[in-house]
């Protein structure tokens, strides 16, 4: 299903059109983190690693784990953990011109 600026990997689409769990984003998509809703200690560690609100990241791979480009470093997280990270698409210059 196509969202406003990206495609969702889930055939049912995302529950909210503006935000989507990171686990449902298609590889190659650049997104901005809007909320980290894991357990407090896990959320704290994710923020220490650079996965914090308003951070721009790119999902590189969706194999056994999700590999993200965060602050010029590759970081692998589980699909379950990615479910707790809500993201919004980043509009590319070509998309904004439409």
| pLDDT for position 2 | 44
> CA 66, 46, 58: angle at the middle one, nearest 5?
40
- Note whether residue 9 is domain-resident: no
Q: What total of structural domains would you count in the chain? A: 1
- Note whether residue 1 is domain-resident: no
| pLDDT for position 13 | 57
- Note whether residue 80 is domain-resident: yes
Quote the pTM value. Answer: 0.79
Summarize pLDDT for 1-13 with one digit per residue, the tens. 344 444 565 555 5
Sequence-ordered list of residues with C-beta below 8 angstroms from that of 40, at least 6 positions apart, any chain: none
CATH of the domain at 26: 2.30.30.90
- Note whether residue 5 is domain-resident: no
Summarize pLDDT for 71-95 with one digit per residue, the tens. 999 999 999 999 999 999 997 655 4
- Note whether residue 4 is domain-resident: no
């Amino acid at each position: 299903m196509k969202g406003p600026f990206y495609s969702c990997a889930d055939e049912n689409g995302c529950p909210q059109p503006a935000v989507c769990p990171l686990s449902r984003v298609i590889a190659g998509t650049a997104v901005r983190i809007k909320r980290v809703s894991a357990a407090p200690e896990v959320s704290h560690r994710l923020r220490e690693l650079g996965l914090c609100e308003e951070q721009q990241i790119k999902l590189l791979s969706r194999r056994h784990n999700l590999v993200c480009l965060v602050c010029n470093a590759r970081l692998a997280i589980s699909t379950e953990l990615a479910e707790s990270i809500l993201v919004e698409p980043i509009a590319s210059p070509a998309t904004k011109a439409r």
